[in-house]
Amino acid sequence: ERVLAAHLRPGDAVAVEDPGWGSVLDLVPALGLHAVPVGVDDEGPLVADVERVLRAGARALVVTDRAQNPTGASVSADRARELKAVLARHPSVLLIEDDHGHAIVDLPLHPLAGTTDHWAFVRSAAKAYGPDLRVAVLTG
């Protein structure tokens, strides 16, 4: 929430995974932002969709690296390479990566962070240590 509010203005478009996590889909319009859907398959966000929405002016992209909700998708090494190439052509885009399942998913991480000028990488402790521990680590 704070990263979006600090970097964007009401009316800005935010690319979100579709299907995606309900809390993100609720948060974006609550901040006065416009959610733009990006399809997801087993390897993560669809590259053509990301390219399309960024060319159309989306100012931010929210990606779930592993254990995407509700599909369970995880960004593969090949998909990460393709997404990095797209993001490199749009360096002003705010990239937010959510790796909420890091402590419970036994899959490799292929981060996109650092590809754009503005990014945040978020990890939650809630999945590993219980839902009552509402602590996350943010870097960017």
pLDDT digits (tens, 9 = 90+) for 1-50: 889 999 999 999 999 999 988 788 889 999 999 999 999 999 999 999 99
Q: How many domains does the chain have?
A: 1
Per-residue confidence at 132, pLDDT binned at 50, 70, 90?
A: low
Judge contact between 84 and 112, C-beta under 8 A: yes
List the CATH number of the domain containing 14: 3.40.640.10
Sequence-separated (6 or more) residues with CB below 8 Å from residue 140: 3, 113, 118, 119, 120, 121
The domain in which residue 59 lies consists of 2-139
User: Among all chains, which residue has been given the structure tokens 């932002």?
Assistant: 33
